A and B are shown apart, each in its own frame.
Chain A
């Protein structure tokens, strides 16, 4: 079901290589291909869970992707994620300092659910019998208190082999200050005690995968470092085998793999540090959204004054993305069971405080700072014992799915509510491949409607009781989304009114306008292909490698020269490793420095970027105070500041997203037959005759005014009354709240 982008076009002066982004989802594997001319092709095919590579390779064939060393495939792999969630990882052992084998299981000694009568925690990824201790100890100052005896490691190797261990995680106390002991273990376990000539990448003669904490995360806090190292050891063998098969099938095309930090790495690196890919799924969506917003911004800015007046003129471009050189966006990725939101204030944000929520395990590698809520299109709505309408976290899942799918679902979901309100078209869902059953949706919502209307047995319901119930379900779902977006914006000192909401995922464009209104967000951007944005993100992901080291020093004593000297070894390593990843003909490597700072005595750090050039400690401190004040409402410029970690990010840039332009609109778009859609207006919840368009029929410059519905293969967009917008030359839809329909109108209505 490839969807060719419209022609004609003019070839560009500097063709970029053909690239293919592939994202494996639970149901579909999505492909986005961009050729030398910027032509985009989309493809979707069912995921093959037993052998995910099969769907990928089949899609590559179906698209006729050239078998050429210049034709690059960038891949978002869910192998690591699924191995963790399904606990199907390798037989993994953990080696720790004597006395601390249980740190992994004790964690932070807290229980996840405060009110559980029997507190439970997920069992650790490495069971007790495979957690081994070695006598060794390093002090908090980095001195060796007890040297590690190589003979003890040799003895342990025999046990590991006897147990059939496949992968080993090593994490010693204070190893970030003295990595020597972990390295010694790695050396012995890899070559069975025989010293290797090639110290960089010794070939393992023992067939053990070894993950040492200082290679992955040389930062303080033993539980978080141990857990991250264990995750890596647990998933690396599976990912290694999977990527081996995929690379074989794709050869000679080069393969890159998406990481949780939104950058790609070569398959070779991913095969050794697979934990870096563990949260990569949603990362592609954010990178894609940011690239799309960047593109929309460029297009808006480049529209000339001579062009016809309309939403793309510079004046309205400025209104759309005011004074921006980089877009300020909030991404809103609403899928079937959950919704991911991310605030990008001119850049994609990172955190080192990620976690694999299902396992309660921290993953302290840099990841895109995404916040997830357990509500999506498939979330179930019900009235609880106390009389409140709740939506989620239970979901109808892929099977049976929402009632309107007709696969046997009986309980009402958010998708059913959207259908009852006319916001989904029964014949245009998934490009018409999945006809929806409105009667089933109405039947599922009916019991809820009866209870919400407070009607007794035999009493007649108000005519719009069903729609009121459906609207209630959407309002509750939107309240959960709103709370999530508040967490990432207002809680961190940002006003949503300064941002554009980028809506994608199967359900994002359905809810975007009303959610934006709740948050006083004035603009919404719906990408050209909102349902495959993750795969698009893979296409534009830079090659990225992150490095960090804990220094724990007072900033006051730190000179520019010292700071530069602390960064130097990591930058040299980053430069060398990156050059190897990129190959001789690759782009120039960019290095970005940042530092994690806190007031002395605090325990949470703020990451502050350093500009290129000689470091300026005074400017770094000033920036830290300003960021602290923004995030927490106060700062203490006189108080001592600690430098906790230094970070270096090496970036090998990827050509920017340059779609071939969409043809300009010559005539008004031809709407499909109108449809009645329910909206909340000043007059209450009413049914409005609503224009319906096929998104593919819209051309650059076409404008649409709400109420309207846009249907396309991978999503449906609801344009609420009071919203209007237009299609830009790349095919993205830019919506804004029209003048004269201030948000207060809705509020006034709500509060009466």
Chain B
């Protein structure tokens, strides 16, 4: 039976509200600046068999990656009981990189709860079935998860250096927290109190999500709710297929690079190719990454979930060109997508590969090559390359006075790529692009919390690529440290600038520099895109982020 268009729209609101309400709760009760100020998290609702049903529009890189977490929880932690909660961050088992800690909760609802409005019971006492009706999940980037450097985004060569690895395990079993697991995790991180607060915020979000699902089922009944869950998956798939039908069938290829760090001997790092062949056919979109570089010694390796995320994100952006209304992001968007990565490649990380930057940097390049290929098919829709990096900076040390350790993580926006769609669009400057959308930490919050001083926070004038449509400008951010810190930079597009399209010029490549010592006349020294630094009080780190590529010949 065809779904009722009216009820379809109503359920669109209902399922979205679950993810929305979870997100509000997590953001408001989180403890670390990375969660409370930068909103580096996502919340989602899944069907009982682990298909994404609704996701709050937060961080795109979490999009395609969260289903892998729920899958892993299903594979490793079934059977489930009401009150269970699974925790994981293992990139090779449902995670992407270690700081992203994901919680997954099964939801059991009382199919006969209709009489108990407005606060239905969550878990019917007599429930015996072991198969959950739904799942909710939340993923948050934790500012430290242990490992070799504060902030857990090190220049690592194997995953064991990146922090504590948490395979899918039940942190809470039938409502009882496993104190041994909890203690083990907290003993392996630098800032346990903050971790505790952030994990509590994630759990609070799950409570809200589960309550909301129970209310929906109480009102509409389980069968109807599940029927419209399926209908909405089919709806999004129809939207995605409607978009694909507008793309001329054929094969489109593109190539771009990520930048390996310099070798220990000081030799310049290699540029590692990412290659894609996108095939558009009546079956859907196949992205084949054959020809991509093999996995590397450093941390730019990515797991398949990240590639899936990037592909789903690209498709979802294109859907917006044919459907202006609110389209739920769910598993339906993945249905016409097929992704192939060569075994052992940069996009097929395996134990013990390091992966810290795969999630934040390589993911951006996967988007770039997909868009680069599709630009040939859809020249009037696809924009030039955006900054293509998140400009990750982590630093840590000890607070003056108390001597307490601290760890801090931030990422920086840059220039958006220019494009012809919609007509007259002006590419934004100083924004996060594609796979990230985290906010900045206010300077007045940062300096209040940590012994650091921001000396400049400005747009990088003229860094956007020239063209008929100009690329957005990057950012400049100068930080002076007031105590000794260990800082790590994980940045891309320092050697290979974001490309222009249709005759537009590339944006300026990014640049990292260091000024040693206070008040000296010493000039800035250039830093590589990826490095770990022992900094002294008075040292200034200066980061200039890339501009976006221009589009069209300048007139």
Residues of A within 8 A of B (CB): 99-103, 105-111, 114-121, 123, 139-140, 173-174, 220-224, 383-391, 452, 454, 472, 475-476, 479-480, 482-483, 486-487, 491, 495-497, 520, 552, 599, 601-604, 631-634, 743-744, 747-748, 750-751
Q: How far is the CA of A694 from the CA of B237 in the complex (A)?
A: 50
Give bound CA distance, A714 to B58, whole Å.
Answer: 42
Q: Are B325 and A390 in contact (CB under 8 A)?
A: yes
Known: A114-B437, A479-B10. 9 other contacts (CB 8 A): A99-B478, A102-B457, A106-B457, A117-B381, A117-B382, A221-B442, A388-B5, A389-B9, A601-B194
Chain B positions 382 through 424: 1 when the CB is less than 8 Å from some CB of chain A, otherwise 0? 1100000000000000000000000000001100111101100
Q: Which residue of A lies closest to B24 (CB)?
A: A491
Q: Give Cα distance in the complex from A384 to B433, angstroms.
A: 28
Contact across chains for A119 and B433 when beta carbons are under 8 A apart? yes
| A479 and B9 form a contact (CB under 8 A) | yes
Known A117-B318, A601-B32, A634-B204; contact A386-B236, beta-carbon cutoff 8 A: yes
Bound complex: CA A222 to CA B475 (Å): 17
A742 to B413, CA, bound (A): 53
A-contact bits for B1-42, CB 8 A (1 contact / 0 none): 011011011101100010011001101111111001101000
Segment at the A interface, from B218-226, B253-261, B531-539: B218-226
Which of A110, A119, A223 has the largest count of B CB atoms less than 10 A from its CB? Answer: A119
A173 touching B437 in the complex, CB below 8 Å, given contacts A103-B457, A120-B427: no
* Residues of B contacting A383 in the complex (Cβ-Cβ under 8 angstroms): 5
A220 and B440: CB pair below 8 A? no
Q: Does B444 contact A (CB under 8 A)?
A: yes
Can you give 12 A-B contacts (C-beta < 8 A)? A99-B454, A99-B478, A106-B475, A110-B439, A117-B381, A118-B417, A119-B416, A475-B6, A476-B9, A495-B119, A599-B197, A604-B27
8 Å CB contact of B12 from A107, A114, A388, A454: A388
A621 vs B73: C-alpha distance when bound (angstroms): 40
The one of B31, B207, B419 in contact with A599, judged by C-beta atoms closer than 8 angstroms, is B31
In the complex, A176 Cα to B236 Cα: how many Å? 49
Q: Which one of B118, B242, B418 contacts A497 once the chains associate, using CB atoms below 8 Å?
A: B118
Min CB distance B482 to A, Å, is: 10
Q: Confirm or deny: B51 has a beta carbon within 8 angstroms of a beta carbon on chain A.
A: no
Q: How far is the CB of B529 from chain A (nearest CB, A)?
A: 20
Chain B nearest CB: distance from A488 CB in Å? 12
Q: Which residues from chain B contact A101 at a C-beta distance below 8 Å?
A: 458
- Contact check: which of B17, B318, B439 meets A108 at CB < 8 Å? B439
Chain A contacts for B554, CB-based, 8 A: none
B276-313 at interface with A (beta carbon < 8 Å): 313
B316 within 8 A of A: yes
Contact of A633 among B12, B25, B115, B118 (CB under 8 A): B25
B8 to chain A, nearest CB (A): 4
Contact indicator A751/B221 (Cβ below 8 Å):
yes
List residues of chain A with CB within 8 A of the CB of B17. Answer: 483, 486-487
- Residue contact B200 to A634, C-beta cutoff 8 Å: yes
Chain B's interface size range is 35 or more
A380 CA to B28 CA in the complex, in Å? Answer: 35
Report whether B444 and A476 are in contact in the complex, using a CB–CB cutoff of 8 Å: no
A632 B444 Cβ-Cβ under 8 A: no
Q: How far is the CA of A396 from the CA of B412 in the complex (A)?
A: 40
CA distance A750 to B60 in the complex (A): 36
A115-B316, A119-B428, A495-B118 are contacts. A603–B445 as well, Cβ < 8 Å?
yes
CB distance from B407 to the nearest CB of A (A): 13
Which residues on B sit within 8 Å (CB–CB) of A107? 430
Inter-subunit contact B197/A601 (CB<8 Å): yes
The residues of A that contact B220 with a CB separation of less than 8 Å are 747, 750-751
CB distance from B538 to the nearest CB of A (A): 13
Task: Contacts A118-B416, A220-B444 given; indicate if A102 touches B317 (C-beta within 8 A).
Answer: no
> A residues within 8 A CB of B119?
495
Q: Is the CB of B439 within 8 A of A386?
A: no
The docked-state distance in angstroms from the alpha carbon of A493 to that of B32 is: 24
B427 to A633, Cβ gap below 8 A? no
> When the two chains form their complex, are residues B459 and A102 in contact, meaning their CB atoms are under 8 A apart?
yes
Known: A479-B9, A491-B24. A115 touches B317 (CB 8 A): yes
B421 contacts A117, C-beta separation under 8 Å: yes
- Complex contact B114–A747 (CB within 8 A): yes
Contact B5 A452 (CB under 8 A): yes
Output the nearest chain B residue to A176 by Cβ-Cβ distance. B444
Q: Are A633 and B207 in contact (CB under 8 A)?
A: yes
Q: How far is the CB of A176 from chain B (nearest CB, A)?
A: 8
Chain A minimum-CB-distance residue to B545:
A109
B57 within 8 A of partner (CB): yes
Interchain CB contact (< 8 A) of A385 among B2, B24, B238, B447: B238
CB of A26, distance to nearest CB on chain B (Å): 24
